[in-house]
Structure 1
């Protein structure tokens, strides 16, 4: 197998965790209608069951930072896969709403842990020119999981109970656990453990030439030597002034990935469309359309992110996502469209999904895997994942209440404004990292050139290898 092919296999197997994340979070959209009926849940109870997995994800994001640093990225992913298996089985056997919420909290630990470690694992193995496409396997896998959840929620709504809908995810979690046993350790983690020879052998499996391996090993050892000499390695290291631009860029994008409303749409499309007068079947099919668009557009983002760039992709798309939400708000607020009212609502919804998915959703986990320097990478990726999931908790736990208070139209205005704020943030705070090695990005932070002004160009091929900024 060629190095490029082996690298794709590594990305594909480890990205199964993304599919589990997408399915386990997305299945609640179709299952919640059944769960609410079985356990007699109101809006608050539904929000608790839906958001419990997100609270667990925040905990898992932070807890797995130490695990990934001590046990390694590969072993941590295997542990997370085992927790996934236990969590979905516990959810499927829950006797009441509280037990289900606790089981989803445990499942959330695995979700958060996987989002903290899998993109980092892929990024630390991938060559710079392929890193964007390979890390976004994780994003595409999330889309596949969400689509599978939507298909199960629609096609099997009257065949499967919600217990089977959730429990079937144990199968891919076991596949992830077994698949990871055949994959290599991260070479950067191996160098950190003073296992330099193993790191070199690993890089030889995923790089085209020995010269590339020699140059990359020199860079890795240089950065690790600086880390060893640094005073702050742990959480205090996040407070160092030179890493602040990376934290602002990474954590800001992580927050806006959720604050712009994507997960709210995935979780609650059937629920809030039902509140707006859509029939049960029509609401579920709309959720299926949302899942299909999410998958297609995140795959599109994967294909173009290394060419368009991490900064330009959300910068070009967030304004159109905001306009789609404002359009949906107008349709709901003034009951526009007459006989075509429902079609107009769904059109605005799908347009929003197109532009939000291909842009900021395609780069969120990618940026978290590449902008943070080695000395704080474990802690920073944990903070990145926790920030994303914390914002997700905020949106999910308040979405139905906001719809009840402001109406669907008013809620869409709020989310539209958050897309506008996200666009302003990207323009002002997010530099371009495409084509640069992880070590080159770290040098830019050290030199004070990690900003949109100095890093506004997408680097490709030999140019990426020759520049140090």
Structure 2
């Protein structure tokens, strides 16, 4: 009897060890993919401190500087579309590798640029790399992670982006005294090589392997990720069931499925408003804005680094809360805080509060805005856009929403300085407050809560024509087999 109990205890311990090892594998693979976010953050964040010195060295006026900043976003928009066929035929891992090599080429062009044209060309190449990375990395992470940790793991990608931005800003601060902009840009080659080596050591996504008919490989990867053969086979069966559905490709699904059209539009809307919230133009142009508000050059760059730290810290808080509180509460809180802080910030600028009080108010309100944004508006759209889309439409939907993100980013970064000259410094921030208020309303009316739902469960509810805001709720079925939210059962009875 004692031997049987000992054997049972050994089996339980062994099973627990396998699950722990599987969680460790999933974290490592997601972490390697998350390095794409580091490159994303480094390459988008570095320009804030380098821009002034690039302008002086290459003779770029303010309008040309807008093009230098925004050319990366234009490249990213292009890259997010080019990533669709690459991710389909070469896998999410393959798309990340393409991004790595493009990061390396773009970094070299920018660091060695002898003209504005060469600088813009390098920034476009970097942008294409960012587009590949921002499309493929969150998709890969969503497809290898268990549902209970998916929100946290995708948000970890956003944390790494903010970490990359902070590192770039800190590096800029150290190199700013000598105006070493080529070192600011060139040093990014080191993490790029690390990213490429890490990506070479991650497996392909099991969902992609199944879609390419490579079932045995998918089963092997899932065993690494879930710990036991039974768990792997059960998930594999769910994936195969979804793939067998006669849904056609993404474009066919867009024509035939009303549910997919709703999630498709919601994904694009979330990504557009993430950029209209104003975070990136603030981080890109923070030194310029602060100098305009009478901060010294070195103080402006160090204050920008403080904003980057606030961005990263609040994203870390979001990671802890996203699978506890849920997506909707975080996004509602975030949009509310961002709206109020920008309204007050615009008021401070309108009243022209000078001296120490004005400086403290300016930095304090910018920090509050960034804390508000990074708690929800930053990570939640990336998480939601990978969760709410059905498998066969996921690639198209994420590519289009990522494209919308970068086109919006390009548009506002390309006109920010010019628009500020027309509307005034306070007017531009009141306009951003209006966009954040609109984001709050959209969240309240349309955004579902997907906490604790598997991708397959969400897709089933979508196929049952459940209302968009309810696709994160369990589905009951009536006598005719028609699905509806379980919470509505009593009303229908």
Same fold (TM over 0.5): yes
Structure 1 residue 243 corresponds to structure 2 residue 266:
no
Pairs within 5 Å for 1:64-463: 64-159=83-178, 161-226=180-245, 229-230=246-247, 232-239=248-255, 240-336=257-353, 338-453=355-470, 455=472
Q: Distance in 1 between matches of 2:459 and 2:270?
A: 18
Q: Distance in 2 between matches of 1:453 and 1:201?
A: 35
Structure 1 residue 6 corresponds to structure 2 residue 25:
yes
Q: Distance in 1 between matches of 2:486 and 2:64?
A: 53
Q: Distance in 2 between matches of 1:325 and 1:91?
A: 34
Tell me, yes or no, if the aligned pair for 2:461 and 2:471 is still in contact at 8 Å: no
C-alpha distance after superposition, 1:3-25 (max 9, x if no partner): 11111111111111101111101
Q: Deviation above 4 Å: which 4+ runs of structure 1?
A: none
RMSD: 1.7
Distance 1:50 1:80, change over 3 A: same
Match of 1:40 in 2: 59
Q: SS at the partner of 1:157?
A: helix
Deviation, 1:246, is 1.0
TM-score where L is the length of structure 2 = 0.90
Match of 2:79 in 1: 60
Q: Distance in 2 between matches of 1:413 and 1:137?
A: 31
Distance 1:138 1:225, change over 3 A: same
Q: Distance in 1 between matches of 2:24 and 2:454?
A: 20
Tell me, yes or no, if the aligned pair for 1:34 and 1:162 is still in contact at 8 Å: yes
Tell me, yes or no, if the aligned pair for 1:31 and 1:165 is still in contact at 8 Å: yes
Match of 1:30 in 2: 49
Of 34, 48, 63, the match for 1:15? 34
Deviation, 1:450, is 4.7
Larger CA Rg, structure 1 vs 2: 2
Q: SS at the partner of 1:2?
A: helix
Deviation, 1:40, is 2.2
Match of 1:464 in 2: none
Deviation, 1:343, is 0.9
Deviation, 1:163, is 1.2
Distance 1:205 1:454, change over 3 A: closer
Q: Distance in 2 between matches of 1:192 and 1:217?
A: 11
Deviation, 1:278, is 1.6
Q: Distance in 1 between matches of 2:467 and 2:234?
A: 23
C-alpha distance after superposition, 1:400-455 (max 9, x if no partner): 11211122111110001110001111111111111111111111111122522463
Q: Distance in 2 between matches of 1:338 and 1:79?
A: 50
Tell me, yes or no, if the aligned pair for 2:458 and 2:472 is still in contact at 8 Å: no
Q: Distance in 1 between matches of 2:100 and 2:133?
A: 8
Gaps of 5+ in 2: 1-19, 475-484, 488-493
Distance 1:292 1:453, change over 3 A: same
Tell me, yes or no, if the aligned pair for 1:17 and 1:176 is still in contact at 8 Å: yes
The number of equivalent residue pairs is 457
Tell me, yes or no, if the aligned pair for 1:272 and 1:400 is still in contact at 8 Å: no
Tell me, yes or no, if the aligned pair for 2:39 and 2:192 is still in contact at 8 Å: yes
Q: Distance in 1 between matches of 2:382 and 2:112?
A: 32
Q: SS at the partner of 1:452?
A: helix
Tell me, yes or no, if the aligned pair for 2:332 and 2:443 is still in contact at 8 Å: yes
Q: SS at the partner of 2:439?
A: helix
Q: SS at the partner of 1:324?
A: helix
Moved more, 242-251 or 50-59: 242-251
TM-score where L is the length of structure 1 = 0.94
Q: SS at the partner of 1:311?
A: helix
Deviation, 1:257, is 0.8
Q: Distance in 2 between matches of 1:159 and 1:274?
A: 18
